[in-house]
Structure formats: C-alpha cells, structure tokens
C-alpha cells in the first residue's frame, strides 16, 4: 500500500497516517513544515510503516501542481491511496470586511485544494485504480452566519469531489469527500470544545481510512453528522434565521 498524504501535519492527517503505519504501508508526507514532517515520519516508522518519506511543499502555492504531484508519485514508487487533508479556518468577522482575508480563505480551502484534487484524480485515472479521499466539512452543507466564507469553500470542494466520483462511476478509481463535524484540533483551539458533538482526530481518521476502501461519495465523520446536517439543510428559513449557529 502506497499512500500520499497532502497536508500531512494536520491532526486528522497524522491520525490517519498512524492507521496506515499499523498496516505497514509506504507513506509520503507532504506539507510545508519540514521539522514537523520529520517528527511525524520518525513516529510512523516506529509504529510500523514500511517506509515514510517527506516532501516539503507549500500546498497553497498554485504553481507546478501537476508536475509536483507526478514527482510525489515517482518518489514513493507509485500510489494506491491519496489523502488531501489541509486547509485553514480563517476569521469570519475580519474576512467579511477585508477582501484579502476572504480571498485567502477561499484560495487555500478551495482554489488550491481543487487543483491538487484534479491533479490527483488525473493520476488515478491514468492508473485506472486507486482512491482519493478529500477532507471537507459539514460547514459546506448550509451557509451559516458564523462561517459562511469557509463554508462556501468547503461546499465548492465537496461539489468538485462529487462530480469526480460521478465521472469515475463504474471505473477503477474512486473519489470520496469526508465531512467532519467540529473536531478537537489546533484549528479549533479558540473554541469552547465541550459537548458530545465534538470529535477527536482519531474518530475522523477512522472514517477517512474506511472511505479509501469503501463507501461514499460522501461520508460524514462521525456518522451522526449525516442526520444532523440533513435536519439543518431542511429547516425552514424562518426557523433557521432564529438560530445562532
């Protein structure tokens, strides 16, 4: 099993990589912080990974994405699974008033992620097999005042992934978007993270790992968010507008 993880220093990506390491997979970890990549690599080797290599890359940089992805595939000697797990939450309030901040949220969470998704899907199409799992968010299921810029980016990314899954239907490659609910990661450390609805990175990672083998094209993490978001999406507007969510 050869696995490329884009955004490998995120908490969910690291938890997912540990699951693959237990299976003895070959891993290529891609992110922009070399020190964190090396620390994660060493940990994964201890946990059983047959191979763990790193590639330092600012994934938000749009230049040379297709060529760099081909280089990643060559570095690890092929690819079976690809996990895309990076993004930023941003600050909704300032971003509403500052187009530059809004553009950064959209550029990183949609534009660059979409470009990597298309490059990865193209590689799988050439191989005629393999899986691509993209980590989205329940925030993209309905626009809410608290995070609609971030949510808009995640909604667009989910639509892209669903379209690719439809395109590959009945063929070898498979593409899945995993939509976590609120998760206890460094991205959410400024939130009040109490309550039963908060998930751990390990809980989400279990869904991501399963998604690479079966299910989809849309999976929620944990599973109960499918039903929560089904309700939220279908709330009448006059009720939804009274909710502070």
Q: What is the dihedral of CA 220, 209, 134, 119, to 10 degrees?
A: -160
| 3-12, 17-26, 183-192: least confident range | 183-192
Buried b (16+ CB within 10 A) or exposed e, 68-86: bbeebbeebeebbbbbbbb
Q: Please classify residue 17 by burial: count the beta carbons closer than 10 Å to its beta carbon, then call 0-12 exposed, 13-18 middle and 19+ buried.
A: buried
Q: DSSP labels for 112-167?
A: IHHHHHHHHHHHHHHHT--EEEEE--GGGSS--TTTHHHHHHHHHHHHHHHHHHHH
pTM above 0.85, yes or no: yes
Q: Has residue 28 got a pLDDT over 90?
A: yes
Mean pLDDT of 192-215: 90
Whole-number Cα distances in Å, 179 to 28, 38, 45, 100: 23, 28, 28, 26
184 φψ region: left (φ > 0), alpha (ψ -120 to 50), beta (else): beta
pLDDT at 195 over 80: no
Q: What percent of the chain has pLDDT over 70?
A: 100
Tell me: pLDDT of 186 over 80: no
Q: Hey, which residues does 135 pair with through a beta bridge?
A: 178
Alpha carbons 82 and 87: distance in angstroms, whole number: 16
Tens-digit pLDDT profile for residues 122-145: 999 999 999 999 999 999 999 999
Rounded to whole angstroms, how far apart are CA atoms 95 and 124? 36
Strand partners, 179: 220
Question: In angstroms, rounded to a whole number, what is the distance separating the alpha carbons of residues 196 and 171?
Answer: 39
The domains found in the chain, sorted by start residue, are: 2-240 (3.40.50.720)
**Residue 133: closest CA among 158, 156, 104:** 158
Which residues have C-beta within 8 Å of that of residue 99, sequence separation ≥ 6? none
pLDDT number for residue 187: 77
Q: What percent of the chain has pLDDT over 90?
A: 90
Q: What pLDDT, on the 0 to 100 scale, is given for residue 188?
A: 81
Cα–Cα dist 81/132, whole Å: 6
pLDDT computed for residue 161 by the predictor? 98
> Among all residues, which ones are annotated catalytic?
150
The predicted-structure confidence for 80-106, as pLDDT tens digits, reads as follows 999 999 999 999 999 999 999 999 999
């Amino acid at each position: 099993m050869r696995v490329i993880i884009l955004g490998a220093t995120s908490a969910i990506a690291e938890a997912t990589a540990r699951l693959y390491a237990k299976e003895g997979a070959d891993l290529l970890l891609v992110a922009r912080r070399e020190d964190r990549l090396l620390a994660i690599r060493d940990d994964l080797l201890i946990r059983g990974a047959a191979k763990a290599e790193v590639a330092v890359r600012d994934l938000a940089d749009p230049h040379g994405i297709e060529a760099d992805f081909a280089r990643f595939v060559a570095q690890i000697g092929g690819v079976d699974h690809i996990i895309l797990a990076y993004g930023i939450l941003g600050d909704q309030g300032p971003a509403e008033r500052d187009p530059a901040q809004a553009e950064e949220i959209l550029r990183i969470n949609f534009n660059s992620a979409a470009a990597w998704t298309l490059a990865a899907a193209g590689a799988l199409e050439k191989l005629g097999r393999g899986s691509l799992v993209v980590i989205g968010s329940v925030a993209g299921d309905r626009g809410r005042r608290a995070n609609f810029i971030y949510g808009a980016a995640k909604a667009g990314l989910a639509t892209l992934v669903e379209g690719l899954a439809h395109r590959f239907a009945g063929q070898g490659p498979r593409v899945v978007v995993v939509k976590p609910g609120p998760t206890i990661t460094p991205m959410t450390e400024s939130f009040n993270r109490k309550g039963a609805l908060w998930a751990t990175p390990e809980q989400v990672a279990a869904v991501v790992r399963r998604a690479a083998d079966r299910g989809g094209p849309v999976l929620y993490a944990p599973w109960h968010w499918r039903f929560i978001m089904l309700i939220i999406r279908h709330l009448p507007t006059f009720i939804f507008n009274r909710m502070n969510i």
